[in-house]
A = this chain, B = another copy of it.
Amino acid sequence: MPEEHREAPDLESIFHPRGVAVVGASMKSGVGGNMFLDGFQAMGFSGDLYAVNLKAAEGSQIAGRPAYRTLADIPGPVDHVISSVPAPAVPGLVDEAAAKGARSIHLFTAGFRETGIGERAELEREVLRRARAGGIRLIGPNCMGLYCPESGLSFNTSFPLESGNVGVVAQSGGISRAIVGMGALRGLRFSRVVSFGNALDLDEADFYDYLAEQPDTAMVATYLEGAKDGPRTMRALRRLAARKPVVLLKGGETDAGSRAANSHTGVLAGSGRIWRAMARQTGVIMVDSVEDLCDQLSLLKAFPQGLTGARVAIAGSGGGVSVLEADACGRAGLDLPVLPDDIQERLREFTPVHGNSVRNPLDTFGIIDRENYVKTLRIASEADNIDVMILDTETDWGFRPQGRGDHLEATLGSIMEARRVVKKPIVIVVRDPLNPGAAQAWMDLQTRCVALGLPVFLGIEQAARALRRMVDWQQDRAR
């Protein structure tokens, strides 16, 4: 349907249903559509939540919710229906939902166009015809649907309960789940998340337009495999990116990925080169992985005013590790300037001559020697050729039970004190554990730094790439 003839969907209402019914809920716990019953309850959904199963006995419950045989049997209003019935039963369900007065159906049900089977594609079209006739908007099919902490919608029981300022528009439920999980580890919280699958009715463009206006959403992450209507998607992306930072992860950039995307959501994924050119034109930051995407969002969150440039100083352990970190920055296109002579002289006053560079990267005695560490960072950060300070950490102590807590607190103490006196952006690198016993220390250091509001990267390459992309994007926008 051409854009001008479409009615703008009332997505804010769809994200705030009063009554929700999961149709095709299972008698077995934790399977199929029951994940929504569990997820909504874990999130404290405040509306009415019902389970529908043809075999439900009168007055029975499924997953702790009142169970009914059909939608029509439910006494209260139902705004939103979640379909977990087999694909051939969906057209009938759409009619029942319309009769019940529902505004929206989330089709968790898969097995439509993405199967590559002609009659399944026709079934999908029939679903759309009936939804249009019944005045119902569709999310999916073949998707995980909505996560909205504010209203208590969720497709996972472990998502954060608190709302945040990140919107997510993703064609894939698995990727949505990964973005929310990994993003939460990086300190991100979410306003509206949608996994929209085959995009039979509502598609990415609808959600982009919605999030462009949605007041709680300050930035948007999006995962796309393909667009039904490329130009429409581009226009919506451009409108969104003009208002808010947008980070795009494009699935199906390679031939193999494109084939996988076709199996997944039935799309013909476009060429990676075209999408990259488009991203640049529309002011979107394009990334290569979920980790990259979360890294980029955490940088945008930490520095909403942007960065003054891509010239970094690295404070780390020195030696070969610093050499490789300098290489990683160089490969990512970051500048690692030699500190000015006067700064070097001030550092040399208290830095022993052997084994300690004051040029950049900086050797820092060891992060737990707080006084010298913080003094080094303070002085180095005064260099007028440095935009960002990268603090490299390690958890090599983390496997020793006796020293774990002390070392963690000492490291965090140094970081906190550094943040107090350093007047430039700070990012933290937490390197992979070097000992099986250090896994918890590795995670604790991440989560504690994140709790301080600092962007954390699991490797200098990750930090360098995110910084470079951010500065490139700023420069593109400035033009």
Seen from chain A, the residues whose Cβ lies within 8 Å of a Cβ on chain B are 87, 110-112, 114-115, 117, 120, 142, 158, 170-175, 177-178, 181-182, 184-185, 223, 225, 249, 251-257, 259-261, 263-264, 269, 288-291, 317-331, 335-336, 338, 353-355, 357, 359, 361, 396, 399-400, 432-436, 439-440, 442-443, 446-447, 458-459, 461
Contact = CB atoms under 8 A, between A and B. Distances in A.
Contact of A185 (B184, B260, B436): B436
B331 A254 contact: yes
Contacts of A357: 260, 263-264
B353 A251 contact: no
Nearest to A363: B263
Given A318-B174, A319-B174, A323-B264, A181 B435 contact: yes
B264 A173 contact: no
A393 to B, nearest CB: 14
A321 B181 contact: no
Q: Which 7 A-B pairs have the closest CB atoms?
A: A172-B320, A254-B330, A111-B354, A181-B434, A257-B327, A439-B443, A263-B357
A37 to B, nearest CB: 18
Nearest to A249: B324
A256 B336 contact: yes
Contacts of A439: 439-440, 442-443
Contacts of A255: 330
Nearest to A431: B178
Contact of A432 (B291, B328, B435): B291
A424 to B, nearest CB: 18
Contact of A323 (B260, B354, B442, B443): B260
A175 B320 contact: yes
Protomer copies: 2
Contacts of A251: 320, 323-324, 327
A124 to B, nearest CB: 12
Contacts of A320: 170-175, 223, 225, 251, 264
Contacts of A173: 319-320
Contacts of A110: 354-355
Point out which of A158, A321, A461 has the most chain B C-beta atoms below 10 A from its C-beta.
Answer: A321
Contacts of A361: 260
Contact of A259 (B112, B335, B359): B359
A326 B174 contact: no
Contacts of A325: 260
A61 to B, nearest CB: 22
B435 A256 contact: no
Contact of A461 (B223, B289, B396): B289
28 contacts: A110-B354, A111-B355, A112-B354, A115-B354, A117-B353, A142-B354, A158-B400, A172-B321, A173-B319, A177-B396, A177-B434, A182-B432, A185-B433, A185-B436, A223-B320, A249-B324, A252-B326, A253-B330, A254-B330, A256-B335, A259-B326, A260-B357, A260-B359, A264-B319, A264-B320, A288-B331, A436-B443, A439-B442
Contacts of A330: 253-257
A322 B117 CA distance: 21
Given A87-B354, A254-B326, 8 more contacts: A174-B321, A181-B396, A223-B320, A252-B327, A260-B357, A264-B357, A289-B324, A289-B328
